[in-house]
Structures are given as structure tokens and as C-alpha cells.
Structure 1
Amino acid sequence: MSSTTDTRQAAQGLSLPTLTAMVVGSMVGAGVFSLPRNFAQATGVLGAVVAWVVAGAGMLMLALVFQTLAVRKPDLNAGVYAYAKAGFGEFPGFFSAFGYWASACVGNVSYWVLIKSTLGAVIPGFGEGNTLLAVLVSMVCVWAFHLMIMRGVKEAAAINKIVTVAKVLPILLFVVILAVAFRSGVFTANLWGDGRLFDQVKATMLVTVFVFLGVEGASVYSRYARRREDVGRATVLGFLGVLALFASVTLLSYAALPKARMEGLRQPSMAGVLESVVGTWGAVLISVGLIVSVLGAYLAWTLMAAEVLFVAAKDDDMPAFLRRENRHGTPVAALVMTSALITAVLAITLFSDDAFSFTLKLTSALSLVPYLLAAGYALKLGGTGRQVLVAALAVIYTAFLIFAAGLEFLLLSCVIYAPGTVLFALTRRERGRRVFSPAELVLFAVVAVGAVLGVIGLVTGFITI
């Protein structure tokens, strides 16, 4: 038996609390700290309530889909990618794996942007997180985390469990303080937003997707679970806890500041809200909590991104070089590729007017195809009446999200998906197979046309970053 296999077996056995921490750690990241301003710019209290009901119900359906699939298909690892392949074939499965991986990488860039924007309040050189100094420091941090993760997945997961507890505490304190200091007059004045309620809710959808990314965290690490049924339990437990936390942060903020003031807050806007209630120490508390939270989420998402590439390579759906592991059992080649893409996207933020909003929305848009395919696979499997209903609602919700994302981010997603197909072509060549079947060629042509239109949009100014 090889040393790699020994290490792999030693890494088995993540408990239910640890898997739940992976889910919570994946979702509680940069997004929650930006909720007050992002929601205030889109809607009022009523629209926020409707948005969380829609997002909560839709994401719960997705969480239940992952729970069901974990039990019904225990042989499928790295959930999101594996479900797409099993349901719709190799090329859609590849797109799911690549899109999920790219989404994780872009999301990690948003974390560094927000950290440097937070520090920019005291270090002017960091600006809004996308100055040259901010980007260079972020790149150094990316590779420092890379070296830590190289020491092993189990060790990194244990660190994430500790960080998850540490980062949730300041958010809970925020909720308690705002609940005690609830200003009913301010809350009532913020009841209504501008424009049609449907448009207000639609404008919040990519934000809610971003904060819920990671709901599938336990399913991605299914091969490390001590008990297979713990994967589904961790998914639902983590989701329900995080939903309550996010909705509380959003709605209580409307009782602290007028909507117009929240719209102009510097990110992380939770800091400005708490500062208005308790003073400067509140902003400091949230800023420290954000840095701990985001670093923990960065760790979790980097682990998941590398895991998806590694498992796809093991299944012969990514080039063979991505199967390489080091003596700690870490998928080293997949991790290098992940850190490299994060570094490249960090460089692109130098040319963005609002780097955080851009990376947030692009992350959400890239995740929609993997989520839609996973839900579609559950619907295709059929089952009991409840299972079919849950899967159908999850499909409807993710399809609505694609509509809500709009043409701009759909085309930008194609710009990323199309060149990634090179990896699929390399994989097929390694196996001595034709690159595309007729149906796969049609799908690639659609994506390629979307990518061309996306590039034209960027050049003409129709699409801005």
C-alpha cells in the first residue's frame, strides 16, 4: 500500500460537527458583512422580507436536493460536479466542475478585495481593495495560504472548524446589539423601496446567491465523511443556521439607519451600521470579525475548489496532471491551478471600478450552471412525490436566478467557460477520443458565441467591470 493511500485513509472520518462547520464556514464569509448596503441599494424592509423568503425557500430546496442525492447516490463524490456528469453527460459535467471551480476562485478574489477595503480605512494605500498595493499584498497572502493547505486537507479542515466559531461570534453580537437598540421609527420609515416590488426582489437575487454559496460544502467533502448520512444532515443544519443569521443582519440594519444612509456606507457596511449604534468600537469589532471570517471562508473555498478539480481528474474528466498529490494527500496540482487563477483575477481587479460588486456578481453567475444541473439531475432521478417536488422547485429557483442575473453576467460567464474547454479537449486527447460528439459540439458552439458577444460587450462598453 502506498504512502499516499495511507495518508488518504488517515484523512477519513470527518464528523457531523466538522462537516457542518465546513458548510457554515463556506457560507459565512464576505457576503454577510456587505448585506446592509447591498440590500439598501436594492429594496426596503418589505422587499427584503420577500427576498429572504424566496432565497431561503429556493436555497432550502437546493440543500434538500444535496441531502437526497448524498443518500441516494453515495458512490458520487465531489457532489456538484459528479451529479451533473451522472445526469447529463461528460461535457455538461465538465462545465459544472469548471464553473464551480472558477466560481470559487473568483469568490476568493472578492474576499481579498473586501479585506483590503476594510484595512483601507486606516491604510489609505489599500483604497477600496483594488489598488496596486492592495493587489500585491493579496497575491502574497494567496500563496501563503497555498503553502499552509499543502500540509494536508484534514489539518486545514480542523483549522476551519476553529475559525468558524471565532467568526460567527461578532455577527451574533451585532444581531443582539441591534435587537436591543431596535428603533421602530427608523424601521417603519425604511419599509418601502423604490419601484416595483418584483424589480426590488430581483435586484437582490445575486447578492443572496453569493452569501449562500457553500451550501453544498459537505457534499463536496463526502469522501471524507465518517458516516455518509452526516453529509445531508450537515448541509441542512448549516443552511438553516446561516439563513437565520443573514436575515437577522439584514432586517435589523433597517432599524438602525435610514435606507439612504445605508446606501452610501463604505464596505463592510455592517461596520458602519454598528458604529452608528455603539460608536467607533463597533466598527473595529466588525472589521476584525470580517478579517477572521473572510480568511476562514477563503480557506474553505480553496479546499473545495482544489477538491473538485482533483476528483474530476480522477474520473478522467480533467487532464491527468490534476491527479497529482503530495505526501500529505493534498491535491497539489489542482491547488496550484486554483491559486494561479485567483492571482490572475486579482490582477484584473486593477481595472475594475467596483471590484467587490463585480467579483460578487460574477461568482454568483458562474455558480448557477452547476446548481441548475445538480437540481436537474435530482428531478431526472424521480423518486417519491416529495423528492420530485423538491427537485422541481430547485430547478425553477435556479432558472429564475439565471434570469435575474441578466444578460451581462451570462455573457461574462461564457467568456470564462469557453477557454476552459481547452482542459476538456486535453482530457479527450489523453484518452484517444474525439474531442466533441455532435451534441457536445453544438453546446460548445453556443458557449463560444456567448463568449464572443461577451468580449464585444467589454470592448464596446456594453459590459463593464
Structure 2
Amino acid sequence: METQPKQKGKPGGIGLTALTAMVVTSSIGAGVFALTSDLATAASPGPVLIAWGLVGFGILMLALSLNNLVLKRPDLEGVFAYAEEGFGQYAGFISGWGYWLSSWMGNVAFATVMMSAVGYFIPIFKSGNNVPAIITASIISWCLTYIVNRGVESAAILNAIITICKLIPLFTFIVFSILLFKANVFTAHFWNNVSGNFSGGAGVGSQIKNCMMVMMWVFVGIEGATMMSSRAKKKSDAGKATILGLICLLSIYVLASVLPYGYMTRAELTTIHQPAMVYIFKSMVGNWGGALISLGLIISTLGSWLSWTMLPAETVMLMSKRKLLPPIFGKKNKHGAPTFSLVMSGALIQVFLFTLLFTDRAYNFAYSLCTAAIVICYIFVAAYQVKYSYQHLSEKGNLIQLFVGAFAFIFECVGIYMAGLQFVLLCAIAYIPGFFLFMKTRKDAGYDKWFSRIESIVTAAIVTGAVLGIVLLTMGRISV
């Protein structure tokens, strides 16, 4: 049995409240404000409720796995460390690089939807991906990079304040939705789609499947406290924050997305302008409602953007510390922030923002790519939860933890399938530069070979996927 060092408080570290706020803020970004319309397009209220139950259960299994691993292995820092500990250094790189990709790609999604929200007040920004919007988003991105570069702990405190500010409009919307809820509207088409019924058209199973990708996106960031566990006052706070954050998130998401089915018909919800919550609340209470939710969306997105400016830099810094990337990624400034990692992530966000000039579905593309990348990391977390629990099966509670990990693993594997092949192939392209950095790190460490036989096979498969992705992009079979 492994004996881990007793946890000690870290003076000046991030506390439980700030960590919980980071979980909530990292996840509540743009998605909740567009949920109702996206879900109404996919399903009626009955299948939506079932889908929330399934996704909630799957994310709970992931959260419980993270909680268990933080408590049992407090010596491991960063979500990707579980992959390395359980399946080797190469797996740690695959997991960490996927998490890093997801983190900064998520910022691109935040940028586009935030500009659309600003467009409610200043119409020139309404599309979210025109030249004025991208220039403004670029300025905001670099300002956030500067803030984080001045000190991660102070940024986390600012993050907690933003969380409180952005929850007020959400709670206001939920309260009015309850007051204006009409049971007859809610139950009118409880199971069927607009043109079908319980057994015809788009059946319940198909409707549930259509909901899954949208729902999984709004939970991306649930691991935010675990990623920052190295800076927590107590490691155990990271696990507690993850569970508390999940309870808050699930309550908000279900209420905010399902209650409007009792105010408007599903047909009306599918045709409403995005972000849907803005225009639903405007319909409920007038123009001030649209302005309030738009302001809340701007603050909400800004908070998530701040959290996700910290996470990619923290990821590659920890990967460098674990000798998965060159040492330069781990260098800190006098404020304890990884300047090089922050600037590199900021530069990539900048490049990706300019590419959004060439797509009319910028937000959907960015969040789908982000979700596909992070699910790879989640799969490794669940797999290590299973392995660790099996290896310590004789210890009390580990049989239950084994099943928790197994359920999380199955759920995330289904998630990567539902992400769509095109996004998996695009992620494969993004792994190519990472392989060169990984090989350089191993060469500098004195390795005789860059990859083992199994690692070479996996690398070849990823490179093949990347080539296929490039070919399909060139042929126009994959659109961005």
C-alpha cells in the first residue's frame, strides 16, 4: 500500500470558495445562454430531461473519479498526471496535449460569443467573427494574458468575484421562468418532435443522442479545481470544490434550459435568435431583460475566458515539470506565472481568431473541437481511476470506486464518438507539433529512442488521422 505525505495547508494558496468558483466559472461560459434553443432544435422536453439525467450521471462519475484521485494521489499535479502515472510518459503527453488544446480553443469559442453579446448594444459586433469583433477580442485576450501573468492566485480571486456577478442574471432568468411557467405549454409536445411522435419521426433515443454534444460542452471545465490543485491551500479542497461545483452547475443548467419549454412552444424556441436566453428574457419582461442577460453573458464569458487563460499555461508548465515538454515551458516569472507558456497560448489563440473570418459557424466549430480534445483527457482520468481502484481492491471503498471509474470511462468513450470524426481528425493535426516537442524533450533527456514499439504504432495512427484530416479539409469534405 502506498503511503502519501500528510497534506499541509499552503499559505496564500487558493481556498475552497475560490476553487469552487473556478469550477463554476470555468464551465458556465457561453453555453448556458444558448442552451434552450440548441436543445429545442434537438429534442422535446421529455428526452431533454432524460439526457440531462444521463449526462449528469456521467459527469458525476467523472467528478467522483477526480475527487477520489485527488485524495488518494495528492502527489499528482494536473489532470494529465493520472494518464502518465497509470499508463506511462507517452500517455501523459497525449492526455496533457489534448487538455492544453482544449483549453486555448475554448477561449476562441468564448471570444466569438462574447462579441455577439456586445453586438446587442453595438450592432457592428453582432456576427462575432467580423474584423472589428476579432480585433476587439484579440485586445481582450492579451489583456487577460497580462492579468494572469501578474499572478495566478490574484487572478483566481478576481475570478471568484466575477462568478458572483454573472450568476445574478441567471438566477433572475430562472425566477421569472418559474413565475411565467405554463404547464399546458410544457406538456403539449412532451415526447415528440415537431413533426413526429413518441415512436415516429425523431424517436426518443435519437433526440437524446442529439442533446449529448451540447450538454457535454457546458460541463467542460469541471476539472478546473483539479488542474489548480498544486496551488490550493489543501489538496482535499480541490476534490470538494469539484463536487460542489457540479451540483451548482447541474441545477442551473437544468432549470435554465428546461423551464423555457413552459413559456414558449418548442417551435418558437427553435427559431429564436441566439443567444436564446437574451431574447427569451426580452420577451418575458421587455428590453431591459435582454440588456440584463446580454450583460450577464459578457461577464460570464469574461470570467470563463479568465479561467481558461490560466489553465492552458498551467497545463504546459506542469507538463514541463514532469519532463513531457522542454524546460522553457516551465519557467516562471517573479509573480510565479509561466510567462512563456502564457505568451505561446495567447499567440495561438490570436492565430485561430483570425481564421474565424472564414467560417460562418465560428462558435459551434470552436466548442466542438474543444470538447473533442478534452474528452481524450477525461478518458485517461477514468481509465486510471479503474486501474488504481483495481490495484487497491482490498482497501475499503475501492470496489465502488472501480465501478465509478468504469461508468465514467464508458460515458467518455461515448462522448468521443458523439464529438464526430471530423473533430477527432482535426485534433490529430494539432498533435503533430506536440510530437516534435515531445521528441526533443526525450532526446535532451538521453533516451535511445523517441518512441517504444507501441508508442510508434499509436503515433503512426495519429499522424495517419492528421493526414486524412488535411486531405478531407483540402477536398472540402471537412468544413470549418
TM-score range, shorter chain: over 0.9
Shift of 1:52: 0.4
SS across alignment from 1:359: helix
Answer whether contact 1:32 1:211 (CA < 8 A) is retained.
yes
Structure 2 partner of 1:463 = 478
Stretch moving more, 177-186 or 283-292: 177-186
Structure 2 partner of 1:4 = none
Answer whether contact 1:190 1:254 (CA < 8 A) is retained.
no
Residue in structure 2 matching 1:344, options 328, 337, 351: 351
Gap regions ≥5 residues in structure 2: 1-8, 194-200
Structure 1 residue 133 corresponds to structure 2 residue 148 = no
Deviations 1:409-446 (A, max 9, x none): 22122122233222212211222322212111111111
Q: Map 1:19-418 to 2 at 5 A.
A: 19-78=19-78, 80-191=79-190, 192-193=192-193, 195-382=202-389, 383=393, 384-418=398-432
Structure 2 partner of 1:5 = none
Deviations 1:58-82 (A, max 9, x none): 000000000000011010011x111
Deviations 1:346-382 (A, max 9, x none): 1121111211111111111111100000100110112
Answer whether contact 2:23 2:225 (CA < 8 A) is retained.
yes
Structure 1 residue 442 corresponds to structure 2 residue 449 = no
Answer whether contact 1:207 1:360 (CA < 8 A) is retained.
no
Answer whether contact 2:10 2:232 (CA < 8 A) is retained.
no
Deviations 1:25-60 (A, max 9, x none): 111111111101111111110111011001100000
Look up the equivalent residue of 2:402 and give its one-letter code: V
Shift of 1:10: 7.9
Stretch moving more, 121-130 or 278-287: 121-130
SS across alignment from 1:449: helix
Structure 2 partner of 1:428 = 442
Answer whether contact 1:110 1:359 (CA < 8 A) is retained.
yes
**Matched length:** 456
Stretch moving more, 412-421 or 206-215: 412-421
Q: Separation in 1 of the partners of 2:42 and 2:107? A: 24
Q: Separation in 2 of the partners of 1:279 and 1:175? A: 16
Q: TM-score of the superposition, structure 1-length normalised?
A: 0.95
Q: TM-score of the superposition, structure 2-length normalised?
A: 0.92
Identity of aligned residues (%): 38
Shift of 1:190: 4.0
Moved over 3 A (4+): 9-12
SS across alignment from 1:326: coil
Answer whether contact 2:10 2:233 (CA < 8 A) is retained.
no
The root-mean-square deviation of aligned C-alpha atoms, in Å, is 1.4
Answer whether contact 2:11 2:233 (CA < 8 A) is retained.
no
SS across alignment from 1:212: coil
Answer whether contact 1:114 1:267 (CA < 8 A) is retained.
no
Deviations 1:227-248 (A, max 9, x none): 2221111110110111010011
Deviations 1:265-299 (A, max 9, x none): 22211111111211111111100000011101111
Q: Separation in 2 of the partners of 1:396 and 1:323? A: 34
Answer whether contact 1:12 1:223 (CA < 8 A) is retained.
no
